[in-house]
């Protein structure tokens, strides 16, 4: 391939980890799954070929056993709870939120309890008791109550805060352009972000690096990035792709 340019910084950084006899920890979270679609098949094909474990954040209110039946054929896919219905309760001038302060805490928590029960019923052992708040946002006051509702882990975007009342397994590199700009994110920018996270972990490896994708809205550029990322990293002695289950056990 002659489009190596954007990937050279990643190669250099992974070489550094390899030379130090260390392995960076990566994990993959993909959001918004409800049903089996061509794009979901595309994702399962890409992760399966590269043997990259996947955590699929599923929207409980709208999914059914068709997805569970399909995922039963996969052995490296876990399911997490993506809110309840992914509805936005924020007003037009606020950032979108399902789990915000717009409704009573008891209402939100009972939806989340339902969501966990629904996905556990559908997916059994494949379900990891992880809450992935829609839009990566949750009212901080709800977090201390999540354990009581059966959740063991919270996953949002960005570096984790210290002293959280629940275990946290976050994502740090968002492959899809979610900030409202037009077009896809450049591969050079995405690689630079990933390299920045790797450099920080080289100094202090305090949390695995989470890659975040949204298969339903991927275009050619996003798929190419993911395929190439897997080519560059899967089997590399300086990095390991881990399942959420392994990272939490």
Residue ranges binding Zn ion (CB under 5 A): 31-32, 134
When the beta carbons of 58 and 198 are compared against Zn ion, the nearer one is 58
Give the Cα-Cα-Cα angle 200, 247, 34 (nearest 5 degrees).
105
Report the nearest approach of Zn ion to the CB of residue 85 (Å): 11
Q: Which of 178, 141, 185 is nearest to 158 (CA)?
A: 178
Residue with tokens 């690689």: 191
Report the nearest approach of Zn ion to the CB of residue 135 (Å): 6
Report the nearest approach of Zn ion to the CB of residue 153 (Å): 17
What is the length of the chain?
249
Report the nearest approach of Zn ion to the CB of residue 97 (Å): 11
Q: Which of 159, 145, 134 is nearest to 58 (CA)?
A: 134
Report the nearest approach of Zn ion to the CB of residue 57 (Å): 7
End-to-end CA, the chain: 39
- Beta strands (DSSP E) in the chain are 24-33, 54-58, 77-81, 127-131, 153-154, 167-168, 173-174, 209-213, 239-241
When the beta carbons of 170 and 233 are compared against Zn ion, the nearer one is 170
Contact 28, 55 (CB under 8 A): yes
When the beta carbons of 71 and 80 are compared against Zn ion, the nearer one is 80
When the beta carbons of 32 and 231 are compared against Zn ion, the nearer one is 32
When the beta carbons of 13 and 222 are compared against Zn ion, the nearer one is 222
Contact 31, 212 (CB under 8 A): yes
Neighbours of 12 (CB within 10 A): 10
When the beta carbons of 32 and 207 are compared against Zn ion, the nearer one is 32
When the beta carbons of 213 and 233 are compared against Zn ion, the nearer one is 213
Report the nearest approach of Zn ion to the CB of residue 199 (Å): 29
Tell me the β-bridge partners of 241: 26
Helix extents (H) in 59-166: 65-71, 105-123
Residue nearest to Zn ion (CB): 31
Report the nearest approach of Zn ion to the CB of residue 133 (Å): 9
């Amino acid at each position: 391939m002659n489009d190596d340019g954007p990937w050279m910084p990643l190669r250099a950084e992974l070489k550094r980890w390899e030379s130090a006899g260390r392995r960076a920890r990566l994990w993959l979270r993909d959001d918004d799954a409800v049903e089996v679609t061509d794009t979901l098949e595309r994702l399962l094909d890409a992760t399966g070929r590269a043997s990259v474990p996947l955590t699929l954040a599923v929207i409980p209110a709208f999914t059914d056993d068709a997805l569970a039946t399909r995922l039963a054929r996969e052995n490296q896919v876990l399911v997490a709870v993506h809110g309840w219905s992914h509805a936005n309760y924020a007003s037009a001038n606020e950032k979108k939120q399902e789990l915000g302060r717009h409704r009573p805490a008891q209402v939100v928590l009972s939806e989340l309890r339902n969501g966990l029960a629904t996905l556990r019923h559908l997916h059994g052992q494949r379900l990891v008791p992880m809450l992935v708040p829609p839009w990566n946002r949750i009212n901080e006051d709800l977090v201390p109550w999540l354990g009581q509702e059966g959740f063991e882990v919270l996953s949002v975007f960005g570096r984790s805060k210290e002293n959280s009342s629940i275990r946290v397994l976050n994502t740090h590199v968002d492959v899809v352009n979610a900030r409202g700009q037009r077009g896809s994110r450049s591969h050079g920018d995405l690689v630079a972000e990933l390299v920045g996270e790797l450099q920080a972990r080289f100094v202090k490896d305090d949390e695995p690096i989470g890659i975040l994708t949204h298969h339903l809205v991927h275009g050619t550029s996003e798929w190419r990035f993911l395929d190439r990322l897997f080519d560059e990293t899967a089997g590399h002695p300086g990095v390991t792709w881990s399942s959420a289950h392994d990272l939490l056990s």
